[in-house]
Chain A
Amino acid sequence: MNEPNRLPTGGRIDRSTRLRFSFDGRAYTGCAGDTLASALLANGVRIVGRSFKAHRPRGILSAGLEEPNAIVSIGVGGRTLADLKATEVELYDGLRARSVNAFPSARFDAGSVLSMLHRFMQSGFYYKTFMWPGWSVYEPLIRRMAGLGRSSTAPDPDRYEHRHAECDVLVVGSGPAGLRAALEAARQGRRVLLAEADFELGGSLLWDRDAGGEEGEPWLERSLASLRAQANVAVLERTLAFGYYDHDLVGLLQTVASDGAAEAPTGTLRQVLWKVRCGEVVLATGAIERPLVFAGNDTPGVMLASAAATYVNRFAVAPGSEVVVATNNDGGYRSALALARAGLAVRAVADSRTESSAEAAAVHAAGIHVLNGHVVDEVLGSRVVRGVKVMPVSGSGRAVRLPADLLCVSGGWTPTVHLFSQSGGRLRFDEALGAFRPDAGRQRVRVVGGANGDELPRCEVAQLAGGGRKEHRQWVDLQSDVTVADIRGAVHEGYVSVEHLKRYTTTGMAVDQGKTSNLNALTLVSQLSGTPVPRVGTTTFRPPYSPVTLGAFAGSRRGAHFIPLRRMPAHDRHAALGAQFANYGGWLRPECYPQHGETMDEAIRREALAARNACVLFEGSPLGKIEVRGPDAARFLGRFYINNVELPPGRVRYGIMLTENGSILDDGVFACLGEHHYQVCTTSSGAARIFAWLEEWQQCEWPDLDVVLLPVTTQYATLTVSGPRARDVVQALGTDIDCSAAAFPHLHVREGTVGGCPARVFRVSYTGESSYEINVPAGRAPSLLDRLLDVGRDHGIVPMGVETLMVLRAEKGYLHVGADTDATTLPDDVGFGAVARKKQQDFIGRRSLARADALREDRLQLVGLLSENPAEVLAVGSQVLPTLGARLPARSRGRVTSSAMSPALGRSIALALVERGRSRIGEVVELYDQGVRRRARITEPVFYDPAGARLNA
């Protein structure tokens, strides 16, 4: 065994299972049952990281999730996990760990030159210093120097799952209090879930041999055996309770495979995120020991007393050989005894309290010197602890210099109230603990043991400030590099609200969220401002308690499963026809069908010309379809559309719906299919939204209307034949519907059979050409599409994609809601003001059309734009300038909303919303887009067949 600090006996590690690992490129070994931190200490590695701002050398402070210093990145490639605490990483064979904030390594860090400058870089330094010429100049450099670990950009090869569960009692924490609660609940026959963040159960029993009476290791083993034997108990190790949400929902993060070795197969289940709904939650989350504040308290070799005892008792590692313990409570004595028993030379216990402790006798008996009324003045040694200078707390008297390589500190205990606070529970300050403890709860939560402040040693909180120049070396928050001087400065500048102080000094931020530092910072602010701690208050405890991987939150919702893509009924046919697909509002649809190496532009041009000169076939199945039936169907729909909805059966009308604000919500046609029977067609993206909108009004506001709604969007496939030859194709296929222009004109609907298939055919058009929109049962779409293409071949039919349709409708100036309109666009802005004004009946949004803002003369109005250079396509989003050659910055006077190269016109066209646009037809305006200015003439928004003659052909 070549681990110099490994104790020959004891501990809960398995000395027979050796694990190889590396840290900053150096090879080491450890034992099964080690954490990365204990293995590093076993190997005598004392400097494990550099601090965030000052790049000071830092060592391991704690043995748990509260660790502020030992921040590492582990794993390789896509399995890299940045910013873990070495104290939470379960050692595995082949583990590769790197320190953060250090280049090239924690031992030799080029950035350490900053530690000499840190005195001059107090809180607010960045805000005050890097102002000229602008923060953006400095930001990249500063971020690179400060940024903690770096996550991989490679995809994560592992798998993550979500699981939903419920239980009668969730117990969080497996220390003595948690085990007692779990045993009791199990005995009552309740369904119990016990979650422990550590890979080993037992909590404080794993290191505190003296924890409560009969307890201790034998009791632990008996209790665990009993729990495991009961069918109504589930025990989850490596499972962090990270958040307590409403209605007693608790989030758990279970690590299933804790080894991140590169050779694990792709798709290995790494973590499970549990959402547990609980009848009761018992929080047994324990307490966290606080550091003491003195000069040089960040030097490697300064360690929490309980952590030192943990390394000795649980991991059989001596974190030092010559020890001084500094404490303000009885707990420090227990740790001193544990270290002495393991054979470490404990030189002295310095107790800030002048009264002799009840624990003093046992310590004396072990031959340890006790210095009552003494505190640490400063640490001797710069890179690591070489000794400790101890002073009487009164400030007068002789200083004592003690040689030491390990300084154990205990500044009292802080109950871990995070989950309780997240649950909505109130906290109260306990002077004897110097910390907050749970008060009234709001949910079904019970807090037990140390988390409740029970059985924690009382402490005497010292005066933290007053060190003069030493305040620059008295660290309050080790992770964020905040000193007493920083907090004094912030309070001096008026940052007394704890929320402001946190943001100004960054105390309590980053990976550890101030688990060891928050109380000391609060106490310091209290002392500096003369405000009692409860009045200073705490910052808000928010989930997660400790960082959770993004992979776990994502679960299986990644890649193709992030948002399910819908495929149209004839999808396979489009693929076979060479369609180029894209995601349109969750539907995978053909953009166009490039043939024989065509570019997309060439394909769109060919398809658009086919629509104008022959005919095209387009699948529009995602088009929203809602059937509305009942004696009040017309009355009901009349309250939504700005149009009159009274139609004879067989007629179709284009309509617009508004929100109550008067802005355009959706557009599309509606048809009267028979007496008391309508069909509403929405935009494809509006299908679900508009159905929900109609339903809400029906159920909540107008339940008196006799009407039934039925969404049929996916029941029907929609195949549209459009173009001058469209009628020929439909007739060639065979239909019992009379398709003559007189019998079945534009804006009519007929039901019958087409090619032997029951069909509902609409004569509506978004291309500007005569069109037949054939709706058939969805399953019939592929065969109908085949046959339409087959019989259409003689008429020059080609399949057409969405992008081509967008060019055709722009040529016609047909609205694309959401592109040519936004949440402020009113009907009059797009030329439908007269329709709305003519309607007698009230409709949703009507009153808003009479507001002063709706009647403003300088509203944006939809117009056409023809660029000066017909070969140039204006960029969508180009802004209209106030005048030709206007200086920037200038207020926008409108913008381009749609733009295309028109094959029919042989030039570019655009639609735009322009201030007072309709009164400016013929005017030339200047447009600005990303540094480029272009000029264009305002026109009517219809470029092709303005009379609409082709629709009625």
Chain B
Amino acid sequence: MVRRAGEDVPDAQWAQYLFYHDNPRGLIAERWCHVLGCRQWFNVVRDTMTHEILRVYRMGEPRPRLDEA
């Protein structure tokens, strides 16, 4: 779940939510969709260097701590 910024936040904070996203070298938590199958959205932890998938967890479940993944 992406924490949606509220309506009353200042412009800078809204811009952060809209346009600024981390693009780490290494582990990243992101959400995927099984588009051509069951259409289910789910979460993965992926290594951007190796593209290895380290964790898969449901929507709404807490993000595992990346250093443990």
Q: Spell out A's residues near B (CB within 8 Å).
A: 246-247, 424, 442-443, 660-661, 692, 695-696, 699-701, 703, 842, 846-848, 851-852
B39 nearest in chain A by CB position: A695
CB pair A842–B7 under 8 Å, yes or no, is yes
Query: How far is A851 from B35 in the complex, measured between Cα atoms in Å?
Result: 34
22 contacts between A and B (CB under 8 A): A246-B50, A246-B51, A247-B51, A424-B49, A424-B50, A442-B50, A443-B50, A660-B17, A660-B18, A661-B18, A692-B35, A696-B33, A696-B41, A699-B59, A700-B1, A700-B59, A701-B2, A703-B60, A847-B5, A847-B9, A847-B14, A848-B18
| Whole-angstrom CA separation of A246 from B51 in the bound complex | 7
Q: Which residues of B contact A (CB under 8 A)?
A: 1-2, 4-5, 7, 9, 11, 14, 17-18, 31, 33, 35, 39-41, 49-51, 59-60
Q: Is the CB of A852 within 8 A of B11?
A: yes
State the CA gap A846–B59 with chains docked (Å): 25
State the Cβ distance, B2 to closest chain A Cβ, in Å: 7
Q: What residues on A are CB-neighbors of B39 within 8 Å?
A: 695
Whether A703 pairs with B59 at a CB distance below 8 angstroms is: yes
Tell me which residues across on chain A come within 8 A of B4, comparing CB atoms. Answer: 701
Q: How far is the CA of A92 from the CA of B34 in the complex (A)?
A: 47
In the bound complex, CA of A917 to CA of B63 (Å): 49
Task: State A700–B42 Cα separation when bound (angstroms).
Answer: 8
A848 to B11: give the CA distance in the assembly, Å. 9
Contacts of A442 in B (CB 8 A): 49-50
For the complex of A and B, the 8 pairs showing the least CB-CB separation, nearest first, are A699-B41, A246-B51, A700-B41, A842-B7, A847-B7, A847-B14, A700-B59, A442-B50
> In this complex, what residue of B is CB-closest to A691?
B39
Bound Cα distance A246, B7 (Å): 41
CA–CA, A822 and B55, complex, Å: 38
The CA-CA distance from A699 to B58 in the complex, in Å, is 10
Kindly list 14 other residue pairs between chains A and B, CB separation below 8 angstroms, not including A443-B50, A700-B2. Answer: A246-B50, A424-B49, A442-B50, A661-B18, A692-B35, A696-B33, A696-B41, A699-B40, A700-B59, A703-B60, A846-B7, A847-B5, A847-B7, A851-B14
Bound-state CA distance A246–B17 (Å) is 31
Within the complex, the shortest CB–CB distance from A850 to chain B, in Å, comes to 8
Q: Give every chain A residue within 8 A of B50 (Cβ-Cβ).
A: 246, 424, 442-443
A701, B7: Cβ atoms closer than 8 Å? no
Most buried by B among A692, A701, A847, A851: A847
* A442, B50: Cα distance in complex, Å: 7
| A348 to B47 CA separation, bound complex (whole angstroms) | 56
* Contact assessment for A700 and B31 in the assembled complex, using a CB-CB cutoff below 8 Å: yes
- Cα A442 to Cα B2 in complex, Å, equals 31
A700 to B61, CA, bound (A): 11
Given contacts A246-B51, A661-B18, contact A701 B1 (CB under 8 A): yes
Q: Chain A nearest CB: distance from B16 CB in Å?
A: 12
B51 nearest CB neighbor, chain A only:
A246
Within the complex, the shortest CB–CB distance from B18 to chain A, in Å, comes to 6
The residue in chain A whose Cβ has the minimal distance to the Cβ of B31 is A700
CA A847 to CA B13, docked complex, whole Å: 11
Q: Closest residue of chain B to A704, judged by CB?
A: B60
User: Which A residues lie within 8 Å of B17 (CB)?
Assistant: 660
**Could you say which residues of chain A place their CB within 8 Å of the CB of B40?**
699
A701 neighbours in B (Cβ, 8 Å): 1-2, 4
Name the B residues within 8 Å of A847 (CB-CB). 5, 7, 9, 14
Contacts of B2 in A (CB 8 A): 700-701
Chain B residues, Cβ within 8 Å of A443: 50
- Among residues of A, the one whose C-beta sits closest to the C-beta of B3 is A701
Q: What is the CA–CA distance of A442 and B60 in the complex, to the nearest angstrom?
A: 32
| B48 CB to nearest A CB, Å | 11
A443–chain B nearest beta-carbon distance, Å: 8
Min C-beta distance of B34 to chain A, whole Å: 11
Contacts of A695 in B (CB 8 A): 39, 41
Report how far A325 CA is from B31 CA in the complex, Å. Answer: 61
**Distance between Cα atoms of A460 and B4 in the complex (Å):** 64
Distance of A699 Cα from B59 Cα, bound (Å): 7
When distances are taken between beta carbons in the complex, the residues of chain A under 8 Å from B51 are 246-247
CA distance A847 to B50 in the complex (A): 38
CB distance from A799 to the nearest CB of B (A): 36
State A699–B7 Cα separation when bound (angstroms).
22
What residues of chain B lie closer than 8 Å to A661, measured between beta carbons? 18
- Complex alpha-carbon distance, A247 and B59, angstroms: 25
Nearest chain A CB to B9's CB is how many angstroms away? Answer: 7
Q: How far is the CB of A849 from chain B (nearest CB, A)?
A: 11
Residues of A within 8 A of B14 (CB): 847-848, 851
Residues of A within 8 A of B41 (CB): 695-696, 699-700
Select the residue from B17, B31, B39 with max chain A CB neighbours within 10 A.
B39
> How many Å from the CB of B42 to the closest CB on chain A?
9
Closest Cβ of chain A to B13, distance in Å, is: 10
Q: Which residue of A lies closest to B9 (CB)?
A: A847
When chains A and B are docked, how far (Å) is the Cα of A259 from the Cα of B43? 50
Minimal beta-carbon separation of B11 from chain A (angstroms): 6
Residues in B with CB closer than 8 Å to A699 are: 40-41, 59
- Cα separation A347 to B46 with both chains bound (whole Å): 61
**Cα–Cα, bound, A695→B39 (Å):** 9
Q: Bound state CA distance, A848 and B15, in angstroms?
A: 9
B57 to chain A, nearest CB (A): 13
Question: How many whole Å from B61's CB to the nearest CB in chain A?
Answer: 11
